Structure 1
Amino acid sequence: MHTLEPYFNWRNLYIASEDPQSPFFGYQNSEVHFTDQIYNFLIHPQWDNIESETLFLKVIFADYKDGFAVIELIGEWNDLLHNDIMTLKRNIIELMIEEGINKYILICENVFNFHTDLDANDYYEEWQDELEEGWIAVLNLRDHVLTEMSKYGIDQYLVMGGKLNDMSWRTRHPKQLFEKIDELVMRRLSI
């Protein structure tokens, strides 16, 4: 896992640690030292620590005018043992909502497992309720993770599956990606 690094081709457009509105403003990643791990596996030092033992992320783009953010995740999304949704919601998302972000694109191709606790659904519901005409779209989940999230009803709060699960996002500009996903989400929500 130490070779999996966050997407860096948008760094000329956005760097969270240089954005005064970002929860990661001033955050310093090591350029050479591996400081974080998931279980016994070191992860690339460019991932940002959200105070979870199993889930790390990188805000790879934020647009406050259009109110959206693209967040890439890595690890195991574990609500059962570590209440990762609460940690993500409290430590990152609430700060972003305060700055006007109400549309979230979560890139989850590096989320290897998902474990839930039914009480955790309250945080998903709370997140969705606070978005006011916003949404949370999840891209490229692994099949077993998508199945597990759907099995426990997480898909009533997060838009996932279908075309979102086979999205070629790296070839697009972040605003083009947002427009495409917004179109897909709006089409789903109007059905």
Structure 2
Amino acid sequence: MHDIEPHFNWRERYRAEDDSESPFHGRVYSEFGFTNRVYNYLLHPQWDEFGAETLYMKVLFVDYDEHYAIIEMIGEWNDAVHNDSMHLKREVVDQLLASGLTKFIIIMEGVLNYHGSDTDYYEEWYEEVSDADGWIVFVNLHPQVLDEMNDTGLDNYAHFGHHLNDINWRPQKPSKVYEAIEGVIQTEQRRLY
């Protein structure tokens, strides 16, 4: 896992460490000092830790005018033991919400396992974004992660599923990824009403 870097193609457009609104503003990265790990596996030092023991992230892009963030995750998401959703909500999402962001695209292809528990932090996050016509989307989930998220009832608070898997986002510009996801969400919402 030490050679898996966060997506780098958008770095000329956005760097969380240079964004004064970002929870990671001012962070300095080493290319050689490997300190973060998921169990016995070292992670590339460009991944950001946010308090979770086995889950790391990278804010890849933020657009304050359109109110969205694209975030890439890696590791094991464990709410049952480590309450990772609390760390994500309190250490990252709350600050992004305070900066006016209401739409969250969470890229999950690097998350190998999900262990669910209660849904309090997802419900709180959902209520805050839906009050501002926002949403939470999990993209490219592995089958076992999708099943566990469904079993936990996260589909009440976030959009995910087979129609949001296998999205080829890497060669796209961030605005194109956002437009495509927003189109899927609008189509889903029209079906519900």
Taking structure 1 as the reference length, the TM-score comes to 0.97
1:127 to 125, 136, 142: 125
Q: Distance in 2 between matches of 1:122 and 1:18?
A: 32
Q: Which residue is equivalent to 1:177?
A: 177
Amino acid at match of 2:101: I
The CA deviation string for residues 110-153 of structure 1, in whole angstroms up to 9 with x for no partner, is 001000112xx011000000012100111100011001101111
Q: Name the amino acid aligned to 2:66.
A: D
Q: Report the residue type matching 1:14 in the other structure.
A: Y
Q: Aligned ranges for residues 38-187 of structure 1 at < 5 Å?
A: 38-118=38-118, 121-131=119-129, 132-187=132-187
Name the residue aligned to 1:14: 14
Amino acid at match of 2:181: I
Aligned to 1:36: 36
Matched residue type, 2:128: E
Give the letter aligned to residue 74 of structure 2: I
Q: Structure 2 counterpart of 1:90, which letter?
A: R
CA distance in 1, matches of 2:66, 2:38: 34
Work out whether residues 35 and 45 of structure 1, in 8 Å CA contact, stay in contact via their aligned partners in 2.
yes
Q: Distance in 1 between matches of 2:157 and 2:166?
A: 20
Tell me the alpha carbon deviations over residues 6-43 of structure 1, each in whole angstroms, 9 at most, x when there is no partner.
Answer: 00010010000001111110011212110111111100
Deviations 1:79-100 (CA, angstroms, capped at 9, x unpaired): 0110000000000000000000
Question: 1: CA distance between counterparts of 2:84 and 2:190?
Answer: 30
Superposition RMSD on alpha carbons, in Å?
0.7
1:43-87 deviation line (CA, Å, top 9, x unaligned) = 010000101101100000000000000000000000011000000
- 8 A contact 1:29–1:48 mirrored in 2: no
* Whole-angstrom distance in 2 between the partners of 1:97 and 1:66: 13
- 1:162 deviation in Å? 2.6
Question: 2: distance between equivalents of 1:27 and 1:137?
Answer: 26
Amino acid at match of 1:32: F
CA distance, structure 1, for counterparts of residue 161 and residue 29 of structure 2 = 32
Q: Is the 8 A contact 1:49 1:56 kept in 2?
A: yes
* TM-score, with structure 2 as normaliser: 0.96
Distance, in Å, in 2 between the alignment partners of 1:170 and 1:59 is: 14
1:171 Cα deviation after fit? 1.6
User: Which runs of 4 or more aligned residues in structure 1 lie more than 3 Å from their structure 2 counterparts after TM superposition?
Assistant: none
